[in-house]
Structure 1
Amino acid sequence: MKTYGKWPAPVSLKKLVETPSLPLQWAVPNLIPQGLAILAGASKIGKSYLALNLALSVANGENALGASLYPCQVGDVLFCCLEDSNRRIRTRAIELAEAVGWGIPDQIEVTTVMPRLREESEDEMNGVEYMQQWYEAKANPKLIVIDMWEYFRPVMKKGRGIGNAYNIEYELLKDLQAFARRNEGITVLLVHHLRKSTGHGDIIDQVSGSAAMVGAPDTVAIFRRTGENQLQGILHLKGRDIAETELLLQGGEDHWWNLVGQEDTVRKVSLSKERREIIDLLTEMDKPLSPKEIGVYLGKDDGAIRQLLYKLHNQPKPLIKKVGDKYALPNISNSSNASKGSNTVISNISNGDNG
């Protein structure tokens, strides 16, 4: 291979395109590809349970999240539960395995202690060397979970800064990414926190730390709770090798999460009660309705309805569309019975019936 000094020389793009590439490998097919991934969520929201859920799916070769969309192949898993005790991880593993009737396979190993990513002394084994030794000892290594990042990253002492936070975190994460890239078929999944003050921007930007925490990893997954009694969860995924999407998960007291819906379902359950009522009405009526007609059906002032319709319509992926001076779901034809059945509504309006 031609080199420029110690560096590989550039290659022909034409030759690169014409050369078949190896297929993308996955820890969890169609969900988490090979490389460096981060799973972030608020404190005590169930991130560790979800990570263990995925780890057990890989080790057992079962469908992740109870969905045939994510059929795992049996692989070796290292679960580093660095903020837990053996007693706690034992309890969680039994709880999750019993929830789905699985056994605890030999393919998953756990540790509650390991070297940090970088140690102060070069003579000490560091975290990457520890993972490399585990990788080389296994027949089919697929997934390493590090729970939590805070217990794995180097301890940064005051007065020892080597640059700004972005540069420091980016260089640390590149160490892990390089490990995943040079070792075939392995994914490193970091469990991490969200910021305490999340704001209203892009959800990906809510990951704690600098922008490097979402810029360096190949895949970023954000987990948050929703629904009555917080028994539903939304998993937002974005990455270099996957399309950005959101998954709706259903949980229970056993802490096992199952897929129950994808992006459209997530967007609906994330709505306020008032906006969801409008979507439900348009779904039920299966035709365009005016703000006044919607107000009559829901027993609400049409001025307030207009504001809600504006918000539902004016977003990056509108949940409704305008049909003349009326509104409908995106999948309703513009000519779909726009006036059919509306005489009853108009009659009610003229009769002063506010329903």
Structure 2
Amino acid sequence: MRKNFLPWHFSEHLKACIPFIFLTVFFIVVPLSQKANANDEPEEFVEDHSHEDIQRGKRFFIGLLPKDRKFETCVSCHNLNHSNKFNWNPSAMAIAVKFKEKDFAEFQSAVMQPNGTKIELSHKDIKIEEEDLRKVKQYLDNLAITGPPSEGPTITQIMIFLFLGLLMTLALLDLIFFRKVKYRFVTVLILIMAIVVQVKMVADAAINLGRTPNYAPDQPIKFSHKVHAGDNKIDCKYCHHNAEFDKSAGIPAMELCMNCHVLVREGANSGKFEIAKVVDANENKKLVEWIRIHNLPDHVFFSHAQHVGIAKVDCKQCHGAVEEMDVMSQNSDLSMGWCINCHRETKVNFKDNAYYDNYMKLHDQLKGGGIDTIRAVNIGANDCMRCHY
């Protein structure tokens, strides 16, 4: 009786659960779609800027107007959304913030009579009526308040994880109660595969917790290491002068940048826009809120002085080929395994570095021919207390 009773009994419960399942899906999908469309319509307006004016300004900016346009659209150079491709031109948001508190005459002058070789070349064919340009300014003013449009929803790991959990639940219910699937090995296979994928997702998430390889955030100033360290051959330690003597390599002050940019006021790639930020920050004593790229957990001690100042480790060994990067990115995952492997492989210059004179036993072994190479691991670099004290 039990064998025949449970499937029918539980099917009644399943019917009651169907609305709950639909509601669950509804409350997952709807918030995502609302988030995707959050910036489609401006939530607030700048005073004296109507919705119609803002929308018309947007159409001019993205190139829908004028219909007989014979010049490049604004958005073709000044991206609205984050782009994985490096763009030397200022984003629409950067322009909006810069001109938010400035009057239309100054904005009009910047567009129609630009000052700078690069921007003059880019704007030479632009022909737009004053009233239409005023609408573009209104659109940008509103953009400075509402922010750039959000990107559409993506299938995240958590959504996949929840879907697999639902799939496992249905498979278990069919195995134990319903038995609707004719070939039971199919249900078992689905259950096993879902469990394996979920376990792998959890393991990968745990292993990669806090690791951000290839992390390359948008910085407040488009600073190119390729231009400075690569093309102009500026030594890393000229800007990061603390690297040899301190735990942190340090962030160069704007006064240091002005050693060069007191004369160099226009870049070959970025024009005057980005360098103007440096000059403004220096003259008005503003803090530039750089986004840190290389982060270690709080329980890990790392000293640039030990690695750069004493061990003479080349910067690119950890940071990669910085001289080739327009956008600075994290080269390695900075995991404990990565550090340990480096300590195992890195040779220590014992002969020409007075810091290692106290390692008399190792010096004697080198002289006696007992060993021919000293690596970082041989002088305790992988001892737990060196990094986790």
What TM-score comes out, normalization by structure 1 length?
A: 0.22
Q: Greater strand share, 1 or 2?
A: 1
What TM-score comes out, normalization by structure 2 length?
A: 0.21
Q: Greater helix share, 1 or 2?
A: 2
